[in-house]
Structure 1
Amino acid sequence: MRKVFVLIAAAAALTTAACNTISGVGRDASAAGDAVTDAAEDAKN
């Protein structure tokens, strides 16, 4: 359980560092959505 907490904290820290503004969060969310869409299209083909 402690390892999971450490991993979540590290991920949150990296996300916070990468997204300094609200528009940065929007761009990151959009990029993540695009990556999921691309992966789904690749899996379908």
Structure 2
Amino acid sequence: MLLIPAIDLRHGRCVRLHQGDFSAETRYEHEPHELLLRYRSLG
């Protein structure tokens, strides 16, 4: 099984959209580039 993590971006910030709804987003304090490097280091 191949798992591919997704990073949702909005206005340059990492977010999670509830069922694609932009009015129901959760914002995260991670910088997108740092999160990408973290995912990459985990394999």
> Normalised by the shorter chain, which TM-score bucket?
0.3 to 0.5
TM-score (norm 1): 0.34
Structure showing greater relative contact order (alpha-carbon pairs closer than 8 Å, 6 or more residues apart) = 2
The structure in which a higher percent of residues are strand is 2
The structure in which a higher percent of residues are helix is 1
The structure with the larger Rg is: 1
